[in-house]
Amino acid sequence: MKKFAILLLFALCLNANSISKNEKQLQLKKQEQEQLSKKIEDLANEIIQGEKKLEQINSQVNLASKKTKELQELVNAQNNELDIIILQNKELVNEQNKLENKLIDIISKDYAYDLISPDDFIESADSIVNKEILLNLSLVLKDEYKLLASEYIKTSQKIDYKQRRINEINNNIKDYKNKEKELNKLKNEQEKLVAKQKLDERIYKERLSNLQKQQDELRATLQKLKIIEENKQKQNVANKSINVKHSTTLNTDTKVIKYSGAKTISPLQSYSLKQKFGEYEDPIYKLKIFNENVILRSNDINANVRVVLDGKVVFANDTAVLDKVVIVEHANKLHTIYAHLDKFSPLAKVGSVVKKGNIIGKVKQDLTFEVTQKNFHINPMDLIK
């Protein structure tokens, strides 16, 4: 029965550790998803602010560590002294109690002598002698009382001094424990912040890398369809390390023109702008990236994606980086591109003729929307009312 109880307790401990580990993993995954959903510039600003916070907390940890070490050394030196003082104080208190008893005894005797020392009695040889003896005894008791009283005061002063020293050492011990708790709290905060910084920086690097991969893949698709011309001076982005903080520029060859047509509908019914069109300067690694598209964040999950103008589907396929992509050709060699679709609609087929407002698919949340015209890129937001 005892062995069974031990095994059960061991199993419960393992289960508790497993639950705790799973909770931490879920929390980390949730945090990662939250960071992935943020705008890239917001994530960059968060990293910069995180670095500042980390500098502050590192400084606080260093100061707290120094103070804790000083207090620990002081407490270690005073621990033996504390034991000795407490013992000495106990002895002094015992001595004080003895002196109190002696003083009470003297006062009692002196009072008793006063009682048996009548002032109005018939004088005789014996009575005069007795009275003299009593007076002398009273004087002796008073002298002894003064001496004992002086000893009592000195002992009390010693006890007060020792007690103050005990209180002082105990306060130092208390300060040390409080400072130690503060240090541990700061270290936990520091550990969490370091973990968050690592996560944010990893996600940010992935976002920058994916941003370039997505634009490269989309460009390759547009070039293959002869929608834009092939860039003869193709950049080898893979050789550009984002670990090195130096100024460089990607997609410098992007040609942009102003949209001159009529305003139209948005591909999403309700959305917010997650990524803007145009040049983005990364504040962390000082990379200059030209965003050839916009990212629209749907306010609804699994939202419908609408064609913004009448046209014909010229591409509808799954891709390695951009998930499902639909490209629609419109009048005047204008093309609209809808990437990161989660599902295709029946109209999302090459050759399908589509009207403005037709549903070409669904998106979980983020839609990449790009517009080109005769080898030029257009800010997609210029099309939308």
Helix (H) or strand (E) holding 287: strand 287-291
* Structure confidence at residue 143 (pLDDT): 72
* Structure confidence at residue 362 (pLDDT): 97
Q: Which residues contact 378 (CB under 8 A, 6 or more apart)?
A: 256, 257, 258, 259, 334, 371, 372
* Structure confidence at residue 299 (pLDDT): 94
Is the pTM value of this prediction over 0.85?
Answer: no
Helix (H) or strand (E) holding 63: helix 40-115
Per DSSP bridges, beta strands 359-363 and 343-344 are: antiparallel
* Structure confidence at residue 238 (pLDDT): 37
Alpha-carbon span 49 to 52, nearest angstrom? 5
Residue (of 269, 214, 224, 227) closest to 40 by Cα position: 214
* Structure confidence at residue 247 (pLDDT): 37
Cβ distance 84 to 169 under 8 Å?
A: no
* Structure confidence at residue 241 (pLDDT): 43
* Structure confidence at residue 193 (pLDDT): 93
What's the average pLDDT block by block, 10 residues per block, for the chain (385 residues)? 57 58 59 66 88 93 92 85 82 81 72 54 50 55 72 82 87 92 94 92 87 88 88 44 42 81 95 91 85 94 96 95 95 96 96 97 95 94 93
For residue 306, the SS3 value is strand
* Structure confidence at residue 95 (pLDDT): 81
Residue 349 φ then ψ, to 5° = -135, 140
* Structure confidence at residue 113 (pLDDT): 55
For residue 68, the SS3 value is helix
Alpha-carbon span 44 to 275, nearest angstrom? 13
Cβ distance 322 to 339 under 8 Å?
A: yes
Residue (of 325, 268, 326, 274) closest to 301 by Cα position: 268
Beta strands per DSSP E along 5-85: none
Alpha-carbon span 196 to 116, nearest angstrom? 91
Cβ distance 268 to 262 under 8 Å?
A: no
The C-alpha angle with vertex 252 and arms to 370 and 229, in degrees rounded to 5, equals: 60
Q: What letter does residue 232 receive in the DSSP assignment?
A: S
Q: Which residues contact 375 (CB under 8 A, 6 or more apart)?
A: 228, 229, 255
* Structure confidence at residue 237 (pLDDT): 39
DSSP letters for 110-148? HHHHHHT--SSS---HHHHHHHHHHHHHHHHHHHHHHHH
